[in-house]
Amino acid sequence: MELAGRVAIITGGGTGIGRATSIRLAKAGAKAVVVNYSRSANEADSTVDEIKAIGAEALSHRADVADEAQVKAMVGQAVERYGRLDVLVNNAGTTRFIPHPDLDALTDDVWNEILGVNLKGTFFCCRAAAPELKKAGGAIVNVASIAAHRASGSSIVYAVSKAGIVQLTRALALALAPEVRVNSVSPGLVSSGWFSRNFGEEAAAAQEESFAKTTPLGKVATPDDVARAIVALLENDLVTGQDLVIDGGKNITYQAVV
């Protein structure tokens, strides 16, 4: 799909992978980018300003993707303002750090919060956008995680939610074909600033250094590395129902290092 002239919604678009993807789309010639956020208003507005500086149109839109009514309103505003919708990138996500053996900590509230945003939110966005994407011959990319593929991640619930996204991607690729292509990406550790904000810069640097040493490429992904993969999946008209792992090759050595 040629991205010039297209209209996109990026959930969680103000920070990290979402921000990098929003900017990449603007540089690729997108007509407009809707930058969704739930809490990061300042970051979303800053991303909008950067997109506009590139030459594309943009707006920030606050919506909790776990609330289907808010999702429908967001899609409606995008179509009303720009007349179409071609691209949806489901990047919004949440987690809690819970040791995997601590099953008692996996309360109903934890399950509902994480599945609500990560899995149900992704589905709500896809369902709301599907009619417009079909009209446009558009594409969806869902952001999963390497935790979808192995027993790792910040919590069991998080890993389950991301595994669900990979399977949802496959199911929707069939359900929306041939008009709409649906793919996903599964990043490993991403040097996005999130870890340093939550655990401190020293801990983040140590985590990244340790992770990089276990990868064949000796690198940790940046948000832009993931954004480039997302854009590539949007552009390739013969790829659907696929999940692309972006982790410097760590996944292929996983069995050897545990």
pLDDT score of 184: 98
Average pLDDT for 135-149: 97
Q: Is residue 215 part of a domain?
A: no
Provide the domain count of the chain.
1
Q: Is residue 210 part of a domain?
A: no
Q: Is residue 209 part of a domain?
A: no
Give the chain's radius of gyration (CA, Å): 17
CATH number at residue 116: 3.40.50.720
Q: What's the Cα-to-Cα distance from 93 to each of 36, 63, 66, 131, rounded to whole Å?
A: 12, 13, 10, 24
Q: Is residue 129 part of a domain?
A: yes
Query: How do residues 165-219 score in pLDDT, each as one tens digit?
Result: 999 999 999 999 999 999 999 999 898 766 656 666 666 677 777 778 888 998 8
Q: How does DSSP classify residue 191?
A: -
DSSP 95-125: -----TT-GGG--HHHHHHHIIIIIIHHHHH
Q: Is residue 68 part of a domain?
A: yes
Instruction: Name which of 65, 15, 66 is nearest 41 in CA terms.
Output: 15
Whether residue 159 has pLDDT greater than 90: yes
What's the rounded Cα separation, in Å, for the pair 232 and 236?
A: 6
Q: Is residue 121 part of a domain?
A: yes
Please give the residue range of the domain that contains residue 172: 7-192+222-257
Q: What is the pTM of this model?
A: 0.93
* SS3 state at 35: strand
**Of the listed 37, 82, 158, 254, which one is catalytic?**
158
Query: How do residues 26-63 score in pLDDT, each as one tens digit?
Result: 999 999 999 999 999 999 999 999 999 999 999 999 99
What's the rounded Cα separation, in Å, for the pair 179 and 135?
A: 8
Strand 181-187 relative to strand 57-62, pairing: unpaired
State the amino acid at position 181 in one-letter form.
R
Q: Is residue 100 part of a domain?
A: yes
Whether residue 256 has pLDDT greater than 60: no
pLDDT score of 132: 98
pLDDT score of 125: 98
Q: Is residue 26 part of a domain?
A: yes
Report long-range pairs for 100-109 (Cβ below 8 Å, ≥24 apart): 100/151, 100/155, 100/156, 103/156, 106/155, 106/156, 106/157
pLDDT score of 197: 61
Query: How do residues 73-110 score in pLDDT, each as one tens digit?
Result: 999 999 999 999 999 999 999 999 999 999 999 999 99
Q: How confident is the model at residue 257 (pLDDT cuts 50, 70, 90)?
A: very low
* SS3 state at 147: helix
The pLDDT mean for the chain works out to 93
Does 37 qualify as catalytic in the annotation? no
